[in-house]
Structure 1
Amino acid sequence: MRFLLFVASLLEVVSVAFAQTAQAVTDNPIGAHYIATTPAGGNKGIYATVSAETARNGVMFTININGAELTGGPFLYHIHDQPVPASGNCTQTLAHLDPTVRGETPVCDKARPETCQVGDLSGKYGDIPFLPGFNAEYTDPYVSLKPGIGAFIGNRSFVLHYANKTRIACANFRDISNVTSSGMISPTGSMGGVNGSMSMTSTPLTSPTGDTTTGGAESSSEASSTPTGAAVHGADANGVAFIGLTGLFAGIFAMIM
């Protein structure tokens, strides 16, 4: 029996030794940003936010977990291969994200994170000693925010575990790359849209003559201008004076005749 256990352990070590190590991802899209937020599946009293965004040397994770007080730590957390289904069943997220097919044993060696499962975040960066009140921030070079490759996490899930690997809570990553602060205010005072673009309302602008234009665009009646830049509306002032003077002379000439 001991011999069989020894052989099994030896095979595990050999399989890890020959497994392909994770490769650093150097072409994550600029500005890519995904976030997973609980409660979604599992314990509804767990309030976790896991932010993943493109950084200079990989993906920067910012993690905050609060809510219900739990016993049974230290706690583990990973990125799992499949998303949380509509039922909220965390078990259906399947295994850890593992594009190199490394497996879970032997345990991750923090000193060699490239040899760990890509999704084993707590294995690479430390377990959670107690809950609530966990905060962490670090950059992982092996996770990807580029769709189409095995290390991509945008269509996967975050799962929180007890020390015995029982799943506590889970949530899907969603793309928030184009979402900016909802507090952005446009020049007209209206709030920006969800996509971060500012709503621009056309405001009447007063011309030098007192007329108004729409949105500041030059109207067809203001296509020509005087040397001073003022818009011309009606006859030229010199022309008006000339016509008036001509009428005066005509009247005098009629009286003489």
Structure 2
Amino acid sequence: MKGDWLGKFRRERRGRARVRRAAWRLEQAERERAWALVVARAEGLSVRMTAEAAGLSPSRVHQLTKDAEVDALGELRAAGWPAPEDPEGSDDEELSGRASIAERLVDEVGWIRQCADWIDHLDHESYPPAANLRPETDFPDRANVVVDFARVSAILRRIAFDVDELARARNVDDLTGARVGDDPRAERRRRLVEPDLAYAEFTRRKNLPWHSTRQGEAAWDAYQAERHHRSETNQDPYTVYNPFRPGPA
């Protein structure tokens, strides 16, 4: 009898704690939604587009944003809720720019969701999705690569490594592996598990011959042009050093 009573007490305690936690999360999520709606309207997004993105009616958007303030973000953070983005932020902000473990974890959660969307696409569509190797700040320039199951698997393994590092770190200064520096382009490629393009891999992928001096010169120019397109280098692909190009007589 005593064991039954104790078990019931523990279940009730866990149940109350779970409900309180869910209620707190709902309150913070509603506050975050109001902030996001206000920011979207302040940045010029129409009521119709905002309502469609939020899954609400335009009248409900008006109601939620009528008395809200843009500084609701400060209220979120004061309440302990790690806001996933700032009004001036970017999804492609490099990891070295994220100042807390919570921000890093939110970023990794976003990539896990992206991987889930890619898997759904690969499972239901006859064509693979594409991912852009360039950050948002490079718009309209793009460098798209095909996303297949091998890439998704590699990204998930990269996330597992980063999350393991986050779990071991007491603060951001303890993190060493999950960063490339202050180059958002390099960071974007790292997140998509896309190392700098190698010449041998490029010629194999493009099936380019390079066994003669003339073929090698053209292949190297094409290789440098692709690196420039992927924003791995800022040098002019057709004037940079070419080991196959004959030197001056």
Is TM (by shorter chain) over 0.5? no
Greater strand share, structure number: 1
What band does the TM-score fall into relative to the shorter chain? under 0.3
Q: TM-score, normalised by structure 1?
A: 0.26
Greater helix share, structure number: 2
Rg bigger for which structure? 1
